[in-house]
Structure 1
Amino acid sequence: MRVGFVVGKFPSLSETFVISQMAGLMRRGFEVEVVCNGVAGDAHVDRSQEPLATLMANTRDWWGPAARLRPAMPRLPAQLRDKVSTALDATFARHLNGCDVVVAHFGHNGARVARLKKRGVLKPPLVTVFHGYDVGVPIREAGLSRYSDLFSHGALCLTVNDFFRRVLIEAGAPDAGVAVHHMGIDIAAIPYRWRSWQGMPLELITVCRLAEKKGVEFALRALARLARDPAIHWRYTIIGDGPLRAELERLAAELGISARVSFLGSLPHGDVKQWLRRSHGFVLPSVTAGNGDIEGIPVALMEAMAAGLTVVSTRHSGIPELVEDGKTGFLAPERDVETLAERLGWVASNPEACERIAAAARTKVEADFNAETLDEEFAGILTRLAGARLAA
């Protein structure tokens, strides 16, 4: 089988779950082609290593040679921009007809492909995977009506959590055309190792893009409250970069905790795993951003739970489908600094009790977020859709 993936910038360090899914299909004998909205040059992504070496050889910009026109598109009037974009999409995406099935990651990419299917340009069945931004932002702006063509012409919408599934159905997607399919992690590559912090500082870590929805501001404010208690000792490492980094560094200084907080910027995935092994707890107090952007179920939380860290997060989007408060981790309401500080303080003061919680967290990830199992399921979904097309 040949599968065409339609994505945004590729490859992207913040979307390694997409690369992992492609690799899972390749291991099962699928041929994978990537159509992207611009080839990225991320310095932390090594294109010479597999599976990226093979994927990059089969990657092309959606608009081919016309990609040089992309920077000028925002200057066009809205109606003309839509017409030109759709014409370019149709011209340069026809080669996807050589695929048995097309997979679009993120709803806006699925909507682009669906418009071409509506016009009869593309024939393969379309599977669209929704992740978060593509659900929350449209709801905040003008509802999910922008996906009407996708709901009519797509074969299947896959959502990374059940919350998104219900939202899409309420917006008009056919019940039978929407299913939950989690993103997962390579369990075998992350050994479980619980470390007690009895008699030493609690080593906390966050790995994320420093954007509003990740809620790092609230982690800093909660830790500033803990800093008032001389009996609680902690250090906090933040890995990642983004638009809020300078602002968050200033906040740490204003709160008087900058001596205990380290901003390391973006690091290769191997280095991140090393930092996870050195840490005790993982903090990700996600929130709904002002523009509506929301999480799916963060892969970083899955990796931390698999590694044996005690996680502290929020009741946000699909996170409660992964983290059960008091059983596989700890949750606070969004933007609730007081409760977040209380959860972090309890973790700091009860290291031995957290061992049971960390073990349960590993079991949860193994059962429901194992990439090997999920890739097998995904391969089966695509095979059935391609088979149904041939039978028709």
Structure 2
Amino acid sequence: MKIAFIVNNFPVLSQTFILNQITGLIENGHEVDIYAAPSNELIIHSDIKKFNLMQHTYYFTTPSKNHLVTLFRSLTLTLLNSLKYPILIYWLINGINYTKELSLPVWMIPYRAIPFLSKNPYDIIYCHFGPNGLTGALIKKLGLTQGKIVTSFHGYDITKYVEKFVKNPYNNLFEVGDLFLPISEHWKKKLLDLGCNEQKIIVHRMGVDCNKFSFTPRYPSGDGQIRIVTIARLVEKKGVEYGIRAIAKLAKANKRIEYNIIGDGSLSTHLQEIIQELGVESTVKLLGWKEQDEVVEILNKSHILLAPSVTSQDGDQEGIPVVLMEAMAMGLPVVSTQHSGIPELVQDAVTGFLAPERDIDALANRLSYLIEHPELWSKMGRAGRKQIEEYYNINKLNQQLINIYQKLLN
């Protein structure tokens, strides 16, 4: 099969779930091209070079935040390419016929269409995140592909993004698109609520490569320290503030706790201020962004992973955090929240514990119970590893994805 991935930015270190799908499809003998906005990340995953992915990546021109500049660039792109592709002028003049009900302005046509004009046909256009599905639908409406349009929904694209519109922005995508792959049963229900045809929906989860995460049962350390870790972008929906406040409650009575937070983001300064306000500088450490091997080393030394996800004020939600899958694959018991699709991954009181969103006391109680019952660590860790191997193993999931594609094409 010849498959085009449409993603937000590429390459992005934090989106290994997309990279694992791309490399898995290539390893199974399929051709993959990637369409995205440029990434400003300086460090890239080793698989990018291993699979020569940059040679198969095509970038969209990035619109300006200034609408007049965006319109001017659109006209410029059209004129510069019209000698080779005169149909661009026709599309722009008649653009409303293509963009109507796609929640896309007419002047976006050259931004999205030009990279596809010189390419051979694809069997599948696989769009990660709903707004990219709208691009896939536009490409099909313009006649640039006869391939099947498949869209995965992850989190913000079916919460925060939808709430920006008076009408459902995906109505036309639901008609034009061929298949929709929400990453959880939770998001399947949301798609149904939005009016998507159930016959077009298949839950397809993201996963991790179990071979890259060695399982190690967790036991108390000889030095008596309890090492808890959070790995997350420092943004509201990750709920890190609630993790810090829960740890602060425990640290008053238990000086053996170490809480390391790996990640960076817009809330970094705010979180450091909370740490100082609570007087837990010696317990809670913001370690910033770390390389993957450093992250694995910290996880290997940790006893519990804390992922206190919440729904942000603007409605943004998680999907199912990949870091939870990685930690469970490595044998860590986890404490998380009853948020989005997380309860589909974390079995409460089996592979870890779940607390209500933003409930600091409940988080503290779950953590305290785990700390006081270290005999549960290895038991929960083994159950977590089994859960990942059975349901979130990227190799199994990639084969399922191939089967889904082949069935769709047939």
The alpha-carbon deviation at position 75 of structure 1 amounts to: 5.4
Equivalents in 2 of 1:9, 1:74: separation in Å?
24
Paired residue for 2:154, among 131, 134, 143? Answer: 131
Paired residue for 2:58, among 57, 60, 63? Answer: 60
Superposition TM-score, scaled by structure 1 size: 0.91
1:217 is paired with a residue whose SS is: helix
The alpha-carbon deviation at position 7 of structure 1 amounts to: 0.8
Residue aligning to 2:200: 177
Paired residue for 1:201, among 195, 202, 225? Answer: 225
Equivalents in 2 of 1:143, 1:163: separation in Å?
23
Equivalents in 2 of 1:252, 1:91: separation in Å?
49
Paired residue for 2:236, among 203, 206, 212? Answer: 212
Equivalents in 2 of 1:167, 1:62: separation in Å?
29
Residue aligning to 1:36: 36
User: Does the aligned pair in 1 maintain the 2:5–2:33 contact within 8 Å?
Assistant: yes
Q: Deviations over 1:316-343 (max 9, x none)?
A: 0000000111111100000000000000
1:381 is paired with a residue whose SS is: helix
User: Does the aligned pair in 1 maintain the 2:218–2:381 contact within 8 Å?
Assistant: no
Residue aligning to 2:16: 16
Residue aligning to 2:250: 226
Question: Matches of residues 1-392 of structure 1 in structure 2 within 5 Å?
Answer: 1-38=1-38, 40-46=39-45, 49-50=47-48, 53-63=51-61, 67=62, 70=64, 72-73=66-67, 82-95=105-118, 98-142=121-165, 145-197=168-220, 200-230=224-254, 233-386=256-409, 388=410
State the number of aligned residues. 379
User: Does the aligned pair in 1 maintain the 2:122–2:145 contact within 8 Å?
Assistant: no
User: Does the aligned pair in 2 maintain the 1:201–1:234 contact within 8 Å?
Assistant: yes
Equivalents in 2 of 1:370, 1:146: separation in Å?
32
Summarize the Cα distance change of 1:96–1:156 in structure 2 as closer, same or farther, 3 Å threshold: farther
Summarize the Cα distance change of 1:155–1:144 in structure 2 as closer, same or farther, 3 Å threshold: farther
The alpha-carbon deviation at position 53 of structure 1 amounts to: 4.8
Which structure: larger Rg? 2
The alpha-carbon deviation at position 272 of structure 1 amounts to: 1.1
The alpha-carbon deviation at position 228 of structure 1 amounts to: 1.8
The alpha-carbon deviation at position 196 of structure 1 amounts to: 1.1
User: Does the aligned pair in 1 maintain the 2:122–2:146 contact within 8 Å?
Assistant: no
Equivalents in 1 of 2:367, 2:396: separation in Å?
33
User: Does the aligned pair in 2 maintain the 1:101–1:385 contact within 8 Å?
Assistant: no
Equivalents in 2 of 1:144, 1:96: separation in Å?
34
Could you list the runs of 5+ residues in structure 1 that have no partner in the other structure?
Answer: none
Equivalents in 2 of 1:198, 1:56: separation in Å?
44
Could you list the runs of 5+ residues in structure 2 that have no partner in the other structure?
Answer: 72-95
User: Does the aligned pair in 2 maintain the 1:97–1:123 contact within 8 Å?
Assistant: no
Equivalents in 2 of 1:278, 1:258: separation in Å?
20
User: Does the aligned pair in 1 maintain the 2:305–2:334 contact within 8 Å?
Assistant: yes
CA RMSD of the aligned region, Å?
2.1
Summarize the Cα distance change of 1:178–1:239 in structure 2 as closer, same or farther, 3 Å threshold: same
Equivalents in 2 of 1:216, 1:170: separation in Å?
30
2:105 is paired with a residue whose SS is: helix
1:221 is paired with a residue whose SS is: helix
The alpha-carbon deviation at position 380 of structure 1 amounts to: 1.4
Equivalents in 2 of 1:29, 1:370: separation in Å?
19
Equivalents in 2 of 1:143, 1:385: separation in Å?
32
- Tell me the percent identity: 36
Q: 2:267 corresponds to which letter in structure 1?
A: L
Summarize the Cα distance change of 1:313–1:352 in structure 2 as closer, same or farther, 3 Å threshold: same
2:8 is paired with a residue whose SS is: coil
